[in-house]
Amino acid sequence: MRLTGFEGNLAIVTGAAGGIGQAITRALLDAGATVIGTDIAAAVAASPLPDGALAQELDVRDSAAVEAMIQEAEAAYGPLKLGIHTAGILSIGPLLDLPLTEWERVIGTNTTGTFNVTRAFGRAMAQHGGGAIVAVSSNAAGVPRLNMGAYAASKAAATMLIRCLGLELADKGVRCNIVAPGSTLTAMQTGMWTDKDGSGEQAVIQGSLESFRTGIPLKKLATPEDIAGAVMYLLSDQAGHVTMTDLYVDGGATLRA
């Protein structure tokens, strides 16, 4: 089955310089969409966007900048039809020792950033009579994690935000969905490993009783392309009756029904 609904349509991807954001951007370009990829300047400098994408500097914590970017994009390329929010940061450490400034940093990017971006997407799409929004969250939003309390809380809040937004926008023809990856081969994941021999990957796959973490039944980590495939489906015409869903793409790691 060939997914449709992309050819000639404007798509905006936040966090486009990250591993998952880049994979989604490539998939959208391959499907014929006009793609604006946004990220902070340092991220774009370190990981240039795929050829064909229109790069735009953006800090998702800046609500006014988000609104202005979308208005400028629509003025140049037509109505926004596809909005993909992947921008996010990771924080590791026990909650009892977490500085307030770190909590505010994580919530500001992962939760308030999601609010700023997806609300702006929704406002634009409601005016044009339809569209599709997908936010990339995490399976940590639904499963307690040791030393990841701030990150998990920020993603849980963002996930419910998208579902509520989907309910508000349903009668406007705007679908809102979530993709929740598990461990994925990106810099965010490998940055937590201290090994040089691949044992970090195997440790994630096997899981750990000491940290109350199950392994991955499929015995492999996701690739960014695995996540992009799920996002593309939820954006497509073929998911035209799917909204407010939370799709876990984690190899079965959460044992979720």
pLDDT, tens only, 189-200: 666 656 656 567
- Which domains does the chain show, CATH number per domain? 10-182+223-248 (3.40.50.720), 185-221 (no CATH)
Position 96 pLDDT exceeds 70? yes
Q: Starting at the edge strand that comes first in sequence, how are the strands of the sheet with 54-57 ordered?
A: 54-57, 34-39, 10-14, 80-85, 131-136, 174-181, 246-249
CA angle 167, 172, 174 (to 5 degrees): 70
State how far the Cα of 246 lies from the Cα of 143, in Å rounded to an integer.
Answer: 14
Q: Is 151 a catalytic residue?
A: yes
In the predicted model, what is the mean pLDDT of residues 182-194? 72
Q: List the catalytic residue out of 77, 151, 233, 248.
A: 151
Position 1 pLDDT exceeds 90? no
Quick one: pLDDT band at residue 256, thresholds 50, 70, 90? confident
The tokens for 2 are: 């060939």
Per-residue pLDDT reduced to its tens digit, 13-25: 999 999 999 999 9
Q: What share of the chain in percent tops pLDDT 70?
A: 95
State how far the Cα of 236 lies from the Cα of 168, in Å rounded to an integer.
Answer: 20
Q: Which residues pair with 38 in a beta bridge?
A: 14, 56
Choose the weakest-confidence range: 6-15, 64-73, 188-197.
Answer: 188-197
Which are the contacts of 15, defined by CB distance < 8 A and separation ≥ 6?
A: 21, 38, 39, 43, 60, 85, 86, 87, 88, 136
Position 134 pLDDT exceeds 60? yes
Q: What share of the chain in percent tops pLDDT 90?
A: 84
